[in-house]
Amino acid sequence: MTQSFYESVLQRIDATAERVKLNQGVHNILRQPERELTVAIPVVMDDGDIKVFTGYRVQHSSVRGPCKGGIRYHPDTNLDEVRALATLMTLKCAVANVPYGGAKGGVRCDPSKLSKTELQRLTKRYTAMILPIIGPRHDIPAPDVNTNAETMGWVMDAVSMYEGQTVLDIVTGKPIDLGGSVGRREATGRGVMLNTMEILKRLKKNPKDTKIAIQGFGNVGSVAAELLEKQGCRIVAVSDVSGGLYSPDGIDVKKLIDFVYGSQKRRLLQNYDGYEKINNEELLELDVDVLIPAALENQITSDNVDKIKAEIIVEGANGPVTKNADDVLAEKGITIVPDILANSGGVIVSYFEWVQSIQSFFWDIDEVNKNLKKILIKSFNEVWEIKEKEKVTMRDAAFMLSIRKIAKAIELRGIFP
């Protein structure tokens, strides 16, 4: 039986706590969120019926700064998942050394079955329901799975209506015309690219000889694919919820992006002709140099870990490898760039956007990308240094780095009252 996402995260925290000889009291603090909110969201549908959706907002830690984390819309979203994601956000912010703690939100729904007006009503009512615990100095939401800049614009509008003034810094990932930051949409995928190039350099691999498979062709996967192709890598397989495409000679990523995103309604990869059709399981098991799981959590588990052939895994998604599978991959000598490092580009540029919103002074794309690369490479180097010094995996090193930073902050602040 596959362990739950949250259990997997807690196991990693427990293992790290033992490794760094963490104070038991601090360990206890890290094992549970500061605050959890479950809300009922009534929405008037287009046909006049009322449906009630379930939403969540979990704040894991505010010890290093305001809580920060995305909002996802998915039919399988649940409290366990949101807890796990909020916890990982705390660790991710610490690895990147941005002054945030972790939070996450979710609404259990299938956005593909809702009209745009229904999604807008759902978003604004959900925002109203979590309003008591969010705020520019408390908890700043952002996009996640099945949400985007437009969704964040609706969140900002709902809060602004309650406040009676425009509140730019309540949310990040907003549309550019509503105070969003250039480069924010591409930030997570760009971060995945930068981490991939850095690990190839460390392992002395030529990008031009590197075959890459990417599970997930959403915002993260498609941007990472396009940027890695520009770096000379060969993208041989991609997939989305409908299945995948495979070509040993390489896929034309630009053409595929135009196909999927070039019309009003997003199109599925399985409807694209020209490449071999595969499923998501087959993509994960391809004989490639780099595998980038950029979809959802728990994709590589005890059930399929023995079939993984990639030499390097760069985690574009949060928690795509379970703890049990992670141990097996480490034994096999597979290098994993962990999620709390690999996909931290999004929260880093969210921080930039928040700063810009507070100041009402906005940067150009060169400044955003320059600062993103500077922070990411610094974080990568810190993780790599611990990995080499302590003789541990990159995931263990990233967890050690983040937990030490959080523990230090708790020590310095003391326990209230």
Tens digits of residue pLDDT in 398-416: 999 999 999 999 999 999 9
What is the spatial distance between Cα 172 and Cα 69, in angstroms, rounded to a whole number? 9
For the chain, domain boundaries:
33-168, 185-342
Q: Could you check whether the bond before residue 136 is cis, i.e. omega within 30 degrees of 0?
A: no
Nearest to 85 by CA among 320, 349, 313: 320
What homologous superfamily is domain 185-342 in, according to CATH? Answer: NAD(P)-binding Rossmann-like Domain (3.40.50.720)
What is the three-class DSSP state of 341?
Answer: helix
- pLDDT for residue 352: 97
Average pLDDT, the chain: 95
For residues 289 and 273, which has the higher predicted lDDT (pLDDT)? Answer: 289
- pLDDT for residue 267: 86
Q: How many percent of the chain have pLDDT more than 90?
A: 91
On the CB side of 17, CA atoms within 13 Å amount to 18
Q: How many percent of the chain have pLDDT more than 70?
A: 100
Nearest to 63 by CA among 80, 83, 87, 81: 87
Confidence label for 270 from pLDDT (cuts 50, 70 and 90)? confident
Is the predicted pLDDT of residue 264 greater than 90, yes or no? no
Positions marked active-site? 104
CATH 3.40.50.11740 corresponds to the domain 33-168:
no
H or E element at residue 342: helix 339-342
Q: What would the pLDDT profile of 144-189 be if each residue is shown by its tens digit? A: 989 999 999 999 999 999 999 999 999 999 999 999 999 999 999 9
Is the predicted pLDDT of residue 1 greater than 80, yes or no? no
